[in-house]
Structure 1
Amino acid sequence: MSTFMLDGLNQFGLPAKYGIVGFIAGILGAFLAQILNVHQGDVSSYLVTMIATGVGGAIGGWIRQRRGMTS
């Protein structure tokens, strides 16, 4: 498979691409936690989770970019 569904994000650079993917993963994780009753937190705890996964993804993308990786 030569194309990946997130190749459109490559124009923003790896840190932004991985940050967006991390933020989306945080949204899905918070949604699943609410559905499965794993965590009964308020909105702010879910917001912190989404921001943390986005920042973590951006840091991961920055590290990959510093190592010379392109995707």
Structure 2
Amino acid sequence: MTDEDTLNALKTAFTFMPQPVEINRFEYGDDADRILAQVNFVREVLVSHGIDPDEVAGEINPDSSPNSCY
């Protein structure tokens, strides 16, 4: 597997992860802190590779994301 394949797999998996604002104790119980740390770790890895985590969903699934205004 190439590095590009690995990054594409990570980006795809990231689209299924909850957003940090969605992670709370009501939904995730005692696992909330661990899950938030894992999501933030993946976000940091994406950023370290020059990838904007907030743009990943639109890149992976362009037909299901809203059109950008800019």
TM over 0.5, shorter chain: no
Task: With the length of structure 1 as denominator, give the TM-score of the two structures.
Answer: 0.38
Q: For the pair shown, which has the larger CA radius of gyration, 1 or 2?
A: 1
Task: With the length of structure 2 as denominator, give the TM-score of the two structures.
Answer: 0.38
Larger RCO: 1 or 2 (CA < 8 Å, sep 6+): 1
